[in-house]
Amino acid sequence: MSDKEKEKQEEMNSVVGGLFFGEVDEDAIFPYPHFTQEQKEIGKEFTDAISKFATDNINAEKMDEEAEIPQEVMEGLAALGLCGLGVPEELGGMGLDYTLYSRLFAEVAAHDGSTATFIGAHQSIGYRALLNEGTQEQKEKWLPSLASGEKIAAFCLTEPGSGSDAYSIKTKAVENEDGSFTLTGQKLWITNAGMAEFYTVFAKTDHERDGEKIEKISCFIVEKSMEGVSFGEKENKMGIRASETRAVYFDGVKIPKENVLGELGKGFKIAMNVLNSGRLSLGAGCVGGMKTIMKMATEHAVGRKQFGQSLTEFGMIQEKLATMAALTYAAESVVYMTTGNMCKGMKDYYLETAVCKVFGSESLWEVVDTSLQIAAGNGYMKEYPYERMMRDSRINLIFEGTNEILRCFLSLSGIRGPSEKLKELGKISNVSKALEDPIKSLGVLTDFAKNRITKMMPTRSLSKAHPRLEEWASEFSSMLGGFSIQVENTLMKYGKNIIGNEHPQKRLANMAIQLYVMIAVISRTTSILNDEKLDEEKKEYCFNLAQHSLRRAKHEFVSNLKEMTKNIDKIEKELSNQVAKNGGYGLDIIDF
């Protein structure tokens, strides 16, 4: 790699973050990061091996019924190397990059949601903090046995009173005179809890600041063998029933100082970094699930005859098949655009992985629901896998940050940069008042006005898009300008109070998601249309997938854009308060 390429790696910024400024770096978008020849060879070899193993050994229906993953299945997965996908080879892992990691995880998820949950909880979050923050000694001590599957890991953050509000955890670690810590508290909804030997645990610790004692979050390695570690009963879940979920209790557990992960008091950031990368594999897993259930629904639609015709000849079924395919194409494009940039050196990818999780999980849910509708009565029967896959899929909208909290996270993180840029203007109470002193405000307001006018003028921002996608590249540019103006309008309207206003947060997040979807789809389709080795039939298929997904993205974007200024937010707030006061609907047709 040349010095120039290395320099470019170091300065690569978040693509989604740039959208909030009304900017897009085409070098981070084009060409689409398709698999290299080496990645293709490794990917084919391992996905084939996973598929064969799963077909022969994973009985998803039986595992769901018995609510357990057989020991031989877990051992077989470990033997394939699936417990150490991202661990360096010298420490016993496969040393895969983000792209291959995601593709192999998607292959597991394509066969069974519970198995994917077990694998993901183990390595995507279970020991990820060790991989990210561990010292060399810590990594050498624990990673080999974790990568081999000899030991299983679990991630312990959530508590009975602390879900999305991670900073409100109550579990406490008190430092002892010898530098060790005594841990007391409990964790809830912990995947792999009972079978794990290694726990990444987050707890409050005491710190001094300006002479006062304050609490911060720190991260610890806890082992099952430590005295005082115990567990609740296995939870009886709606879906992913074969994966194990329990509460974990810590009753005066003594933790040696060597088991502190990272810097004391920096645990919140460590936890967020773990979840940021974990959301990527979740998004990839959703793509795997979408492909599987769509294949089932398509086979049913092709084979099922009604009124002397195949279901595929009816317009509303055609609409469903087309929508499912377009959603899958879009979600897949988003995931691997993200992994490609992560492999190229993008450091701040938390906005991208949040999009992967939100868009992937909601697309999967729609595909599962649509597939079940195509299957009709069959889909509702336990004899067929549709209903199980629906139950398994629902958790993805909740896992690793609910989609609601991630929308807040996306918008508030995204507007942070523009808010700094507008800080000088923000010192003025409003634009009209600023004009009363034109000498003082002229420079600031003139630059601001020029910037606004530029954003209002549609330009060809995606100059590298394929000519057949030129119309969509132009649409994207216009939408991007409108979005960045709405970001500025929102900042000026709400100021710091934007934190307490979730309606505009949601709409900004939704618009950012759809813009990123459009970027990924345009880039991927451009690469496909430019590939001279691909046959024309495949190119046309991908072009149609792109048109459908881009049209849908635009529709979603425009809907949210309009609602930024014309909405029923006040009515919804008042109505919600009335519902809460009524304890529900509160009406009976007899009386009202």
CB 373 within 8 A of CB 390: no
pLDDT at position 449, please?
45
Share of the chain above pLDDT 70, in %: 91
pLDDT at 442 over 50: no
pLDDT at 10 over 80: no
| pTM for the model | 0.92
Mean pLDDT of the chain: 91
Instruction: Look up the CATH number of domain 432-577.
Output: 1.20.140.10
CB 267 within 8 A of CB 202: yes
Centroid of chain to Cα 265? 26
CATH superfamily of 32-147: Acyl-CoA dehydrogenase/oxidase, N-terminal domain (1.10.540.10)
pLDDT, greater one: 147 or 445: 147
CA 85/CA 97 separation, integer angstroms: 8
Mean pLDDT over 115-136 rounds to: 97
Mean pLDDT over 125-141 rounds to: 97
CA 378/CA 394 separation, integer angstroms: 20
Mean pLDDT over 118-139 rounds to: 97
Best CA proximity match to 118, nearest among 78, 91, 80, 89: 78
pLDDT at position 495, please?
83
Question: CATH 2.40.110.10: which residues of the chain?
Answer: 153-266
pLDDT at 404 over 80: yes
Residues forming beta bridges with residue 339, ordered by sequence position: none
Determine whether 400 is an active site residue. Answer: yes
Task: For residue range 508-528, list pLDDT tens digits in order.
Answer: 999 999 999 999 999 999 999
Mean pLDDT over 1-19 rounds to: 66
pLDDT at position 424, please?
54
pLDDT at 459 over 80: no
Mean pLDDT over 329-355 rounds to: 95
pLDDT at 7 over 50: no
Pairing of strands 245-255, 260-261: unpaired
pLDDT at 431 over 50: no
CB atoms within 10 A of CB 35: 16
pLDDT at 185 over 60: yes
pLDDT at position 558, please?
97
Question: CATH 1.20.140.10: which residues of the chain?
Answer: 270-411, 432-577
pLDDT at 163 over 90: no
Instruction: Look up the CATH number of domain 270-411.
Output: 1.20.140.10
Write out 506-564 in H/E/C secondary structure: HHHHHHHHHHHHHHHHHHHHHHHHHCCCCCHHHHHHHHHHHHHHHHHHHHHHHHHHHHC
pLDDT at 435 over 70: no
Which of 133, 159, 244, 400 is an active site residue?
A: 400
pLDDT at 476 over 80: yes
153-266 CATH, one of 2.170.190.11, 2.130.10.30, 2.40.110.10, 3.40.50.720: 2.40.110.10
∠ CA 125-131-132, rounded to 5°: 90
pLDDT at position 267, please?
95
pLDDT at position 52, please?
97
Q: Which range, of 2-16, 84-98, 424-438, averages the lowest pLDDT? A: 424-438
CA 194/CA 153 separation, integer angstroms: 10
Provide φ and ψ at 558, rounded to 5°: -60, -40
Q: Tell me the CA end-to-end span of the chain in Å, nearest whole number.
A: 74
pLDDT at position 416, please?
87
